[in-house]
Amino acid sequence: MATVTLRDENRVLEDPAEISAFLAPFGIWYRRFEGSDQLPENATDPEILDAYREPIELLKAEGGYVTADVINVKPETPGLDAMLNKFNKEHWHDEDEVRFIVHGRGVFHIHPPEGPVFGIEMVKGDMIRVPRGTHHWFDLCSDKTIRAVRLFQDTSGWTPHYTETKAEAGFEPLCFGPSYMPAPGI
């Protein structure tokens, strides 16, 4: 299950219905796709897309997405840090960012035009749609592992536009999953 952290309000949301209701005013969809635990960790990309064909087709129809693929990131992925550095600075896209986590985890931070930044830790079974134009950034957790289905309206629209606000500088990617390692002494 996802975890929403409102650092400035010292508030954490963990209930999926509460999270969906909190995110809805920002145009963010949050849903649970159960069943990824039935897929072997070494499932191929086509097997993953096939296992989730039904919800993927529903999302495509709902959001006008035309293609879906699977991204697979591991600590040994070549050029991992360069890849992560593209997305861990505040940016926005010309099209929606839609992700469904099949394995691993990661954290989206959302920076609404009015109101404080909040973090969304996404784990296996979580689906999110961040609407085009939303200021956000993304970090992996310490295990640097994520496998996710991505949906696109037009892959050319998914280039990051950087806001250069450096809002991300004040936020650590807090991950509450099994890989979360508290700082020594805390």
Tell me which residues touch Fe ion (CB under 5 A): 97
Q: What is the DSSP letter of 17?
A: H
Q: How far is the CB of 139 from Fe ion (least distance, A)?
A: 11
User: 51 or 139, CB closer to Fe ion?
Assistant: 139
Task: Find, among 177, 171, 103, 174, the residue nearest to 136 by Cα.
Answer: 171
User: 109 or 147, CB closer to Fe ion?
Assistant: 109
Q: Please tell me the number of Cα atoms within 13 Å of 19 on its side-chain side.
A: 22
Q: How far is the CB of 44 from Fe ion (least distance, A)?
A: 26
User: 97 or 168, CB closer to Fe ion?
Assistant: 97
Q: What is the DSSP letter of 89?
A: S
* C-alpha–C-alpha distance, residues 66 and 81, integer Å: 29
DSSP-derived 3-state class of residue 142? coil
User: 43 or 121, CB closer to Fe ion?
Assistant: 121
Q: How far is the CB of 134 from Fe ion (least distance, A)?
A: 9
Q: How far is the CB of 31 from Fe ion (least distance, A)?
A: 19
Q: How far is the CB of 87 from Fe ion (least distance, A)?
A: 5
User: 39 or 112, CB closer to Fe ion?
Assistant: 112
Distances (CA, A) of 145 to 30, 96, 105: 21, 22, 7
User: 97 or 126, CB closer to Fe ion?
Assistant: 97
User: Which residue's CB comes closest to Fe ion?
Assistant: 97
96 phi-psi bin (left φ>0, alpha ψ -120 to 50, beta other): beta
CA dihedral 128, 68, 37, 119 (to 10 degrees): -20
Q: How far is the CB of 90 from Fe ion (least distance, A)?
A: 10
* C-alpha–C-alpha distance, residues 41 and 66, integer Å: 26
